[in-house]
Amino acid sequence: MLDSICTVLTALWHQDFTTLMAPGSATLIYLCVGTLILLESGFIPAAPLPCDSVVILSGTLAAVGVVEPWVIFTLIMSCAAIGSWLASLQGMWLNRLPLVQRWVQSVPPAKLQTVDKLLSRHGLVALFCARFIPVVRSLLPLMMGMRVQRKRSFQYFAWFSAFIWSCLLVGMGYMLPSLPENISRVVTMMLMAAPVITLCIGVSSWIIYKFRGRLKKSV
């Protein structure tokens, strides 16, 4: 059983259609895909997992009949939303730790009020946008769990963003087999590269922001 799971995980990682289309592999695909999405959405250490490409691949597998389209879509959406909820629970738990409380108390009250205002005004929209950015999709719910009190609204946006994210990526994967092979290959490469490019843009923007802030202080 463990060997079969490792084989499916390796095939998902390397986009190995031949292995994934083997008879009887559907159940293991459901298990592995659901676990990957749950971990990547809910735990920051799992952020490097290639979940966007796995979701697209799942749509393609649904298109060729390896997995059931509605089963894989519901699984991905549910695991993504539950992962965001788990990340928010981690934030609530971390906020109770004495060490974290000391860090928060060391921040000037005006800064904390600014953070709370931004999260209360734009946090739910940011939660929706963060679903499409690796690393941020697990980091932002954690931060909101520490500071945001509107839990019902959080759950609504978590499920809504997971639904849209699953629709887009699974739908893209589902359409790939119907495209000409040369176009399908280019589209697949672009979809695989998009999360990495987005992450690089975000990290670069943060570095530039920090560098400009220090430069202004020095001047």
pLDDT over 70 at 188, yes or no: no
- Which pair of structure tokens corresponds to residue 118? 């931004």
Answer with the residue of higher pLDDT: 205 or 89: 89
pLDDT tens string 91-142: 888 877 776 666 556 656 665 565 556 566 666 677 777 787 777 788 788 8
Residue 124 domain boundaries: 2-218
Q: Residue 155: its pLDDT value, please?
A: 83
pLDDT over 60 at 176, yes or no: yes
Amino acid at the residue 139: L
Q: Residue 42: its pLDDT value, please?
A: 87
The rounded mean pLDDT for the chain is: 76
Answer with the residue of higher pLDDT: 39 or 12: 39
Q: Residue 209: its pLDDT value, please?
A: 56
Q: Residue 81: its pLDDT value, please?
A: 93
Answer with the residue of higher pLDDT: 181 or 154: 154
> How many domains is the chain partitioned into structurally?
1
In total, the chain counts a number of residues equal to 219
pLDDT band at 70 (very low <50, low <70, confident <90, very high): very high
For residue 42, CA distances in Å to 17, 47, 65, 86 come to 27, 9, 29, 5
pLDDT over 70 at 145, yes or no: yes
Mean pLDDT of 174-189: 70
Angstrom distance (rounded) from CA 14 to CA 8: 10
Q: Residue 75: its pLDDT value, please?
A: 95
For residue 70, CA distances in Å to 46, 55, 133, 174, 175 come to 26, 13, 24, 12, 15
**For residue 58, with 0-12 CB atoms within 10 Å meaning exposed, 13-18 middle and 19 or more buried, which class applies?**
buried
Q: Residue 123: its pLDDT value, please?
A: 66
Give 138's Cβ-side CA count (13 Å radius): 22
Mean pLDDT of 39-43: 88
